[in-house]
């Protein structure tokens, strides 16, 4: 099967759209506002878990895939709608070569971009040693152009390419996924509204994601003369982030973390702030609270969550939670 950049053909009806060889065709009957599905698939080339949301103007997919083959082939599809993809690679890495426009697309952990690829005929290469996790929002071309009208420079340049039918990315170089983007994705996945209210909420959050991406690329265009971390430094900073999350209950000091990941403290602090838009311990605090919210939604008692997240008291946890989410943990509902 093929989920636009993955290579997987579900062959299943998801409401207003149906996956056909890598893209989606629209059905005339759109009586239902929104459809959701969560499925697991086992193929000779991959094991996949996909959570999909479909609305009249959007297709959203959160995927967790373990590839069993290093290389896959993507065949072209006919009579499919134009869609623009907001792509967020959460973990893993891969590369797609599209023969149609002779362009190579690279995907790596914690990176995001906006891509318009109306046809795909080529090959994909993926790491078979770790799971590839991604989150994508696909806007219909018409809806995207409507949202991009009179927006910022980065988005309007992309819209001009789309309007002319040209393959395009908002930028050649991907940018890091910010905490605001991660929170927005979690809000979409954990939405508890129903019916038309859920449709409005999901569409507003997808628009918010687009705004956050447009803002990040606009800043990158404005500050392109500022030096970026080297490839080695980036690897060290990603390792530092992963190490922090793995040792969330007993995080090291910044000096210890710098030694562990092989970079000096100044580069670690400055690079971390630049790549994740948060200080090191600001990032860790946000991660703990986001994880705490997920545990509360699963019905785990507040006291247990506070203990698991390493807070000195329930009151300390409650204050931190309310400061971030504007509601006390006791108000979080399944």
Tens of pLDDT along the chain (334 residues)? Answer: 333 344 333 333 333 333 333 333 343 344 467 899 999 999 888 899 999 999 988 999 999 999 999 888 888 776 666 789 999 999 888 899 998 888 888 888 889 999 998 888 889 998 888 889 999 999 988 899 988 888 888 888 888 888 888 888 888 888 889 889 999 999 999 999 988 899 999 999 999 999 999 999 888 877 654 455 677 888 888 888 888 888 887 888 888 999 998 888 888 888 888 777 788 888 888 888 888 888 888 888 888 888 888 787 888 888 888 888 888 888 886 5
Q: Model-level pTM?
A: 0.66
DSSP string, 250-268: SPPPHHHHHHHHTS-HHHH
CA distance 51 to 34: 13
The pLDDT tens digits of the residues spanning 210-258 come to 999 999 988 887 765 445 567 788 888 888 888 888 888 788 888 899 9
| Residue-range domain boundaries for the chain | 13-222, 231-331
CA distance 120 to 99: 8
DSSP string, 240-307: HHHHHHHTTTSPPPHHHHHHHHTS-HHHHHHHHHHHHSS-HHHHHHHHHHHHHHHHHHTT--HHHHHH
Residue 229 per-residue DSSP state: P
Q: What pLDDT sits at residue 289?
A: 87
Q: What is the CATH code of the structural domain delimited by 231-331? A: 1.10.10.60
Q: What pLDDT sits at residue 250?
A: 82
Nearest to 240 by CA among 278, 290, 295: 278
Class in CATH terms, 13-222: mainly beta
CA distance 258 to 204: 39
Consecutive H or E run containing 231: helix 231-246
Q: What pLDDT sits at residue 226?
A: 46
Q: What pLDDT sits at residue 313?
A: 85
Q: How many residues are there in the chain?
A: 334
Q: What pLDDT sits at residue 163?
A: 82
Backbone region of residue 256 per phi and psi (left: phi > 0; alpha: psi in -120 to 50; beta: other values): alpha
Map residue 53 onto helix, strand or coil: strand
Cβ count near 78 (within 10 Å)? 9
């Amino acid at each position: 099967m093929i989920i636009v950049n993955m290579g997987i053909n579900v062959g299943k009806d998801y409401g207003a759209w149906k996956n056909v060889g890598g893209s989606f065709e629209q059905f005339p009957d759109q009586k239902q506002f929104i459809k959701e599905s969560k499925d697991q698939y086992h193929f000779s080339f991959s094991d996949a878990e996909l959570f999909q949301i479909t609305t009249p103007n959007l297709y959203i997919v959160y995927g967790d895939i373990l590839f069993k083959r290093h290389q896959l082939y993507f065949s072209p599809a006919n009579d499919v709608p134009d869609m623009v993809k907001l792509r967020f690679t959460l973990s893993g890495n891969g590369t797609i070569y599209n023969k149609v426009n002779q362009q190579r697309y690279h995907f790596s952990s914690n990176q995001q971009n906006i891509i318009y690829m109306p046809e795909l005929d080529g090959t994909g290469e993926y790491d078979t040693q770790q799971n590839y996790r991604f989150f994508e929002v696909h806007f219909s071309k018409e809806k995207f152009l409507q949202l991009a009208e009179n927006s910022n420079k980065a988005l309007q340049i992309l819209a001009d390419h789309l309007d002319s039918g040209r393959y395009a990315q908002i930028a050649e170089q991907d940018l890091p996924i910010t905490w605001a983007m991660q929170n927005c994705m979690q809000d979409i996945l954990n939405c508890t509204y129903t019916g038309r209210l859920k449709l409005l909420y999901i569409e507003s959050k997808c628009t918010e994601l687009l705004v956050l991406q447009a803002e990040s690329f606009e800043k990158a265009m404005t500050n392109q003369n500022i030096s970026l971390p080297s490839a080695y430094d980036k690897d060290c900073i990603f390792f530092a982030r992963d190490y922090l999350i793995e040792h969330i209950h007993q995080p090291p000091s910044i000096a210890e973390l710098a030694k562990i990941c092989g970079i000096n403290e100044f580069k670690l602090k400055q690079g971390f702030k630049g790549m994740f838009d948060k200080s090191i311990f600001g990032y860790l605090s946000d991660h703990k609270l986001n994880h705490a919210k997920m545990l509360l939604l699963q019905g785990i008692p507040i006291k247990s969550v506070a203990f698991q997240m390493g807070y000195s008291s329930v009151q300390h946890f409650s204050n931190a939670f309310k400061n971030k989410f504007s509601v006390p943990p006791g108000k979080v509902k399944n």
